[in-house]
Structure 1
């Protein structure tokens, strides 16, 4: 009877230990702490099973001794038989709990491995997104520098055109002054030499022709120089714009790929969330994954904003190119 009471108390202690271990699983902790708790629980189960087996052997020895010494007392033998049956049932119960604990330990290791793979995938996605952001920033800086360079070259062309126009006007004024001076000189001698009139007309005609040819030649040279330089600048800018457009399309494809990966990651997260919510020991891991997913969504929103800004920069550059071409056309006309 005393032995049966001792076993009931051991069973209660075992139940308390199980509740304590299960409660410790519910508390937030690191994976190593969970594995350590499971290992401690297994060690406790093994010790309890060994103690019960030893106690069972002792009881069987005592029962055998009692049966030999008190063969006539059948009631005592039946009592010990019942107690032995209870002990055997308790032993089977402990064996089943040990098997369940081992199965839970195996499932927990699988869940932890799955979470590690998920975290590694999220880390890789985050690195790819950061690389995309750096590429976007570099592209924006290159566009800004290209715009500054084009503005500088446009100002240089405008200054050169102004200088050539001013120089041409000065040459024309100088030729006109020479013509007027020659005209005054010949008019003063007209009274004395009538035959000089035809020579003056011829000289004036030659000077007018020379001035007209000089003006036409200067204008044609200026237009040719401006067209040549402008064509080279426009061709170079078109090449740069085409290169930037290709890079933008590449980044757009990268962005779409990252968006698909994000959606797939979110779908996998929702599926895993439904399966992991059944285990109390994985609540902290689920919370961490939710936080990681929210952070990833925020970073994706930020990168989409940067991408939209790049598109706006490209549109602004297209508008500036159109304005530049319009200025060139007006200058030519």
Structure 2
């Protein structure tokens, strides 16, 4: 009984937001002089096996965002979100960002993927050998069993479709892990930014308190200096009193001695006044220098405090803007995550229904195949019994001919 089977199913899918890709021919299987050819794409590489001359098998499998054991899609989502929040919370997560994304699978993950593909290849090879042995075991004179061939075709088609559905489910799970990684990274960044804003607010309060304290101190110093200056001016005004002395009429004989004495007293007072004036000027200059120095220091401190306050306000404004951007990005990511979860839930439900339907169809096909095998075995038993009877009759006929001769 000669029959041929040729099945092929291909699918191409792009990763969400331009990250990850999978594709390639799922399975190409040919019996009876067929040649298998497959192309696979798995992060820049693929796996393909082919043989000709009666048996051909091709297997290709692509991986999307990576294996689910260590959840590379989750790690990749966090890396993408963290890389987009470097300087000013400019996050861009969406389809086709323009830059090539580095492969997220490590060498160990690639080896595990290749090992899984090799195992699947061995399984398909075993199935093909079994089908070939069944094909060779069928007698050639009994005609072509169309129903058995169609059931085998349907069985293999169902298995391949089931494999494709499982691959799609893994890709949807990888997309979900990617979105969850982005959301986790955004929440972490928002928590860190809230802490920074609280620290900036505390710093602003401290700087405002320092500014108020320095301003009060400067006002007090200015008031004290004004009081000291007014007291000095009052002292200098008291020393510049009129030193004129009224002439006293005395006797003409003693007027010369009194005039000389008055001149001496005038000279002594003038020297004393000059000395006090010089001391007051020196003291006034020293005090003015001290006041000017203190005023300059206070002015520098106030300027520095104002600069620090301005810087803190600018940082606070930047942090507020960055927080607003992060909140908006978080809302966008939550919306996209909800949409992705809704799509994935709908897709998973549909695929589960398809899997259940395909599984039931496979069970029915297996039951039919078992019935056909039993019927075929009964036919073989009947054929053997008929062969024995024919041989017996032939011997009897040959014996009768021998007796007749």
TM-score (norm 1): 0.46
Q: Report the TM-score, using the length of structure 2 for normalisation.
A: 0.39
Which structure has the larger Rg?
2
As a proportion of its length, which structure holds more helix?
1
